[in-house]
């Protein structure tokens, strides 16, 4: 008997589960998914992400069942001053993985697919980059070449944000990061309004809490997750995706004179890619090895992608 905490499923075993997913995609919905602006292989959506939306729908239902059981337990009329039964709170999903592994694409897909289920139509998504320290503060702390490392974030503010959403506060706001200016946008906030499901996407979302200096137990953002996904791939493939994305951005977003990377439109593609390769080798790959990959075994589900972004294998945590 395997003592591994995960059940491993091959692509075909997993995609066969699609037959049991009651919500097929209509032509209009397929069009809407294309409208997300991602390069999405629709067979991949059907075979991998539709069954995943079904699994998540089952988890949301089971969590509601647990809450009802807890309320029955707490709601003892003979006990004066008994706690108020728990109201429904958002189901929180974490999506972790390296820079350029495809977290945003997976999260946007899940956001669109989960919103189609009548039981949880309100799905909101946040990325943890809003909780990066502002550029001036990173410079002050000597952390500009550690961007994306755990210490480059205001981890307390991020945990507080998710705790507030999970607690059912009517409106919770977060700062906003702009890839255009490579910094937090002064004065801009995004607001989350009591969603049924919150997706929290970021490099370090599966990190455990740091021990408090005062010996008190702290909580990390991962302590609020009801489900988490780690997007996994070979490092060499992720580096290639990172460089490909940089090359595409040079032809598009970097053309904007306000872009922090605008200077790379004036140099040769080779020079621009040499810069991107250095960023990968000195920042993103060390962060993957030291901080991100070690959290893989904390996820509820690991998606293992092949060189073409297609999910080849999945590991699902046993209960």
Ligand X SMILES: Nc1ncnc2c1ncn2[C@@H]1O[C@H](COP(=O)(O)OP(=O)(O)O)[C@@H](O)[C@H]1O
Residues forming the site for ligand PAZ (CB under 6 A): 99, 127-129, 132, 147-148, 202-203, 279, 283-284
Pairing status of strand 227-232 against strand 91-97: parallel
Report the residue number, 63 or 291, with the smaller CB distance to ligand PAZ.
291
Which of 284, 286, 319, 283 shows the shortest CA–CA distance to 103? 284
7: helix, coil or strand? strand
d(CA 277, CA 285): 10
Q: What is the DSSP letter of 188?
A: E
Question: Which residues of this chain interact with ligand X, rule CB under 6 A?
Answer: 38-39, 41, 44, 97, 99-105, 241, 245, 309
230 neighbors 317 (Cβ within 8 angstroms): no
d(CA 89, CA 194): 8
d(CA 44, CA 52): 11
Q: What is the DSSP letter of 26?
A: P
Which of 15, 2, 36, 65 shows the shortest CA–CA distance to 314? 15
Report the residue number, 209 or 243, with the smaller CB distance to ligand X.
243
Name the E strands within the chain: 6-10, 91-97, 123-127, 172-178, 183-192, 197-201, 227-232, 301-305, 311-317
Structure tokens belonging to residue 308: 């073409």
Structure tokens belonging to residue 178: 């702009």
* Closest approach of ligand PAZ to the CB of residue 111, in Å: 15
Q: Burial, 135: exposed, middle or buried (Cβ in 10 Å; 0-12, 13-18, 19+)?
A: middle
Long-range contacts of the stretch 75-79 (C-beta < 8 A, 24+): none
Binding site membership for ATP: which residues? 97-104
Partner that binds at residue 14, options ligand PAZ, ligand X, none, CB closer than 5 to 8 Å by kind? none
| Maximum C-alpha span of the chain | 77
Question: 228 - beta bridge partners?
Answer: 94
């Amino acid at each position: 008997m395997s003592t591994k905490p995960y059940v491993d499923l091959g692509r075909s075993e997993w995609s066969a589960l699609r037959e049991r997913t009651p919500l097929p995609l209509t032509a209009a919905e397929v069009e809407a998914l294309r409208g997300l602006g991602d390069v999405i292989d629709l067979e991949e959506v059907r075979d991998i992400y539709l069954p995943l939306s079904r699994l998540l729908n089952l988890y949301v239902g089971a969590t509601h069942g647990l809450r009802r059981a807890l309320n029955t337990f707490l709601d003892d009329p003979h006990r004066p001053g008994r706690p108020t039964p728990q109201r429904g709170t958002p189901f929180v999903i974490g999506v972790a993985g390296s820079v350029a592994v495809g977290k945003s694409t997976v999260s946007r897909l899940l956001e669109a697919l989960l919103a189609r289920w009548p039981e949880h139509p309100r799905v909101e998504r946040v990325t943890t980059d809003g909780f990066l320290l502002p550029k001036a503060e990173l410079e002050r702390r000597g952390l500009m070449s550690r961007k994306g490392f755990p210490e480059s974030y205001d981890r307390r503010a991020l945990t507080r944000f998710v705790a507030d959403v999970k607690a059912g506060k009517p409106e919770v706001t977060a700062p906003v990061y702009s890839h255009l200016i490579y910094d937090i946008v002064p004065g801009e906030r995004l607001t989350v309004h009591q969603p049924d499901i919150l997706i929290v996407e970021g490099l370090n979302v599966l990190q455990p809490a740091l021990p408090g200096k005062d010996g008190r137990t702290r909580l990390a953002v991962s302590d609020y997750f009801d489900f988490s996904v780690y997007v996994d791939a070979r490092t060499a493939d992720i580096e290639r995706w990172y460089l490909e994305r940089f090359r595409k951005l040079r032809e598009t977003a970097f053309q904007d004179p306000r872009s922090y990377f605008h200077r790379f439109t004036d140099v040769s593609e080779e020079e621009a890619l040499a810069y991107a390769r250095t960023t990968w080798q000195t920042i993103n790959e060390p962060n993957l090895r030291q901080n991100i990959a070690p959290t893989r075994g904390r996820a509820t589900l690991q998606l293992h992608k092949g060189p073409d972004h297609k999910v080849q294998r999945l590991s699902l945590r046993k209960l």
